[in-house]
Structure 1
Amino acid sequence: MTTATASWSDKLVFLLGVNTGFVTDGEPDARYVDFYSQRSSADLHCAIVGNVVVPGGHASNRSTPSIGSNPIWAHLAGAIRERGSLPGIQLATTWEGYEGARKFRSADTAQVIGRAREFVRSLGRQGADRVLDYFGAAAAIAIEHGFSHVQVHAAHGYLLNLLVDERINPAASQVEDRLGRLAEWLRAQGVESSIRVSMRTGDIQFDASGASAFQDRIAALPFDFIDLSSGFYNVDKRLIYPARPEITIARFRDSIDVAQRHPTRRFIVSGRIAQRTSELPQNAHIGFCRDLIANPRFLVEPENGCRNHGKCHYYSRGGEHVTCPRWSETGG
């Protein structure tokens, strides 16, 4: 056992949701199943299948799957469970006309926030309720397919992120109430749950006011885990996919601050933290993404992970699906 893996012994480890792009006609294909099966094991608590669109929702790009009746979903959940991990699914939606930025940093971040407020205002209470109904329906479908962990994606500037932040949506407390009831319903079904949230957007002026209060409101929701991410996709993707030292350090510091403010709640902390897991408080668990993308055996080869080649950012590079130059070395 290495020093790194020894520090994970009292932690749960998650493969965080990633939009692989391995779809055919909007449905997961064999590549999709293989990707998650290869990375699942008894060393991994939960493999969360990433960025799955809810019924009635909208995809973030054309390579994003939508959950439905296709038996491939049950096959996927079974393949993950057979390898020893809990099958999880991350449910998400954007909105009609959404287009993810190709560049990593927007030149008009204030306009992104302004347009978000305008869109939420146009959606209204009935529109917001309809979106939350979609998430409830998707969760029920996921359970029928055999998923045992359901995550709602309220991060990265996607629709639920806008609805649950009172700085963008004045009626956010009503959304929180609905999400709380969904979390309680999932618990009653015997299903583990989590919510993914962006601690910051990347717009400095917006983040300077109310960020801690927003984080605290999310931490109070009755999900089993709060998955701490950062960044809005159309503001600053560098926060979502931290690579530069100053960004990884800031995200880690923010994560620890949130976890320490809420010692009775459980958090998932990520963002290139493989060598810093010994610094996590007791209530903070571990999320890996790019390291496991690069090397399916990363949990038993913790020194052999991501090398920051950047090829996994397929959408930003104009590609159709995730890839990594390391796969020829690791069998990924």
Structure 2
Amino acid sequence: MSLLFSPLTIGETTFANRLWVAPMCQYSAVDGFPNEWHHVHLAQFASGGAGMVMAEATAVSPEGRISPEDVGIWSDAQQAAWEPIVAAIHSRGAVAGIQLAHAGRKASTWSPLTGERGSVPPALGGWETVAPSAIAFEGYATPQPLDLAGIDHVVATFAAAARRAVAAGFTVLQLHAAHGYLLHQFLSPLSNHRTDEYGGSFENRTRLLRRVVAAVTEAAPTAVVAVRFSATDWAEGGWDVEDTVRAAALVADMDVSLVDVSSGGLVAHQKITTGPGYQAPFAAAVRVGVDVAVSAVGMIDTGVFAEELLEHGDADAIMSAREWLRDPHFGLRAAGELGDDIAWPPQYARARRR
């Protein structure tokens, strides 16, 4: 059996394999509710051999949505809407995860499905955004700096969302501290110019993340709590790999048991060098420097390449995104590439051999 299709145990949770579905926004919700599209979209990956299926960035509050069409979990009714989706993932043998998110200054934007770019004005269904500082993402509206009461509210919404997520059946809760969204905005000196206890030093800029981690682990003690980091801003003077390793060590000491390593998204002037597995070295740096399970993501689109990254020690698991969109049975295909004899859904067994 390959490493990719060997089980991985984190805490009390065992994943059948290490090829997972990364969160991918669908911009298809109404009032934050997941619907039939989300049900079919996510369940198909579990049928296709994924060890974990993670739901897209799910807003912890209405103002935390990236776009008006984003899903949320700020109400009991939304929790109920997620429950059959989670059950469908579990019934097909995969672990269900959810990414809990607040978009901060990158909220209230047009869905990319509309072809528009920039902030949605309040008259058309948008809202005023918040951030650590009144610094706009290029082309977006200027956000309102959060005061201390506003920060307390953010922490409380993450905790409430975590409780609802566990009640809906999710096993893994990933806190989105990457891609230029609110928690990442507090981490990076490029977007955080505060002069209070939430700005300036590394300790202060990580304070909100640490508070959210503490609140979520207390609210959901049975969950696998994960954090997604952007390992670098790809911009001078920004958050970098060394910062990520330090922050990962801090949250690992607070019962975070999985760190997912991505990059970028904070500023429009970022200079990214991409290529197959281009973020794997960042994941490796965290895995070497911190005693925590690590997943790698970024242009990993074959089973053979995923296996090479695991054999090299870059990560404990692989997150893929677009390859699952191209082929919802990527897991079954990757196992075939590696010669692994994994279980197929019995309904599909007739297609197993050509």
Checking the alignment, whether the CA contact within 8 Å between 2:185 and 2:266 is kept in structure 1 is no
User: Given the alignment, which residue of 223, 226, 242 partners 2:259?
Assistant: 226
Measured in 1, the distance between the counterparts of 2:217 and 2:108 equals 33
1:120 is displaced (CA, Å) by: 8.7
Structure 1 position 267 matched with structure 2 position 298: no
Q: Which amino acid in structure 2 is aligned with residue 174 of structure 1?
A: R
Q: Secondary structure at the match of 2:331?
A: coil
Q: Which amino acid in structure 2 is aligned with residue 270 of structure 1?
A: V
2:76 maps to what in 1? Answer: 69
1:287 maps to what in 2? Answer: 319
Q: Which runs of 5+ in 2 are unaligned?
A: 9-17, 116-132, 193-197, 338-354
Structure 1 position 255 matched with structure 2 position 251: no
Output aligned runs, 1:191-210, within 5 Å: 191-203=223-235, 205-207=236-238
Q: Which runs of 5+ in 1 are unaligned?
A: 104-112, 306-332
Q: Which amino acid in structure 2 is aligned with residue 266 of structure 1?
A: A
Q: Give deviations 1:100-147, integer Å, cap 9, x for gaps.
A: 5979xxxxxxxxx98269x89931332222111111111111111111
Measured in 2, the distance between the counterparts of 1:31 and 1:304 equals 28
When the two chains are superposed, the root-mean-square deviation of aligned CA atoms in Å is 3.4
Structure 1 position 9 matched with structure 2 position 42: no
2:101 maps to what in 1? Answer: 92
Q: Secondary structure at the match of 1:34?
A: helix
User: Given the alignment, which residue of 21, 28, 32 partners 1:22?
Assistant: 28
Measured in 2, the distance between the counterparts of 1:225 and 1:186 equals 17
Measured in 2, the distance between the counterparts of 1:215 and 1:236 equals 24
1:157 maps to what in 2? Answer: 180
Q: How does the TM-score come out when normalised to structure 1?
A: 0.74
Identity of aligned residues (%): 20
Q: Give deviations 1:173-230, integer Å, cap 9, x for gaps.
A: 4324313413532562x21111111011122x124x7541243213430311001011
Checking the alignment, whether the CA contact within 8 Å between 1:227 and 1:268 is kept in structure 2 is yes
Q: Give the total of aligned pairs.
A: 284
2:345 maps to what in 1? Answer: none
1:184 maps to what in 2? Answer: 217
2:60 maps to what in 1? Answer: 54
User: Given the alignment, which residue of 9, 19, 35 partners 2:41?
Assistant: 35
1:55 is displaced (CA, Å) by: 2.6
Q: Secondary structure at the match of 1:220?
A: helix
Question: Which has the larger Rg?
Answer: 2
1:216 maps to what in 2? Answer: 246
Measured in 2, the distance between the counterparts of 1:276 and 1:44 equals 13
Checking the alignment, whether the CA contact within 8 Å between 2:65 and 2:108 is kept in structure 1 is no
1:90 is displaced (CA, Å) by: 0.6
Q: Which amino acid in structure 2 is aligned with residue 92 of structure 1?
A: A
1:277 maps to what in 2? Answer: 307
Checking the alignment, whether the CA contact within 8 Å between 1:23 and 1:64 is kept in structure 2 is yes
Measured in 2, the distance between the counterparts of 1:220 and 1:157 equals 20
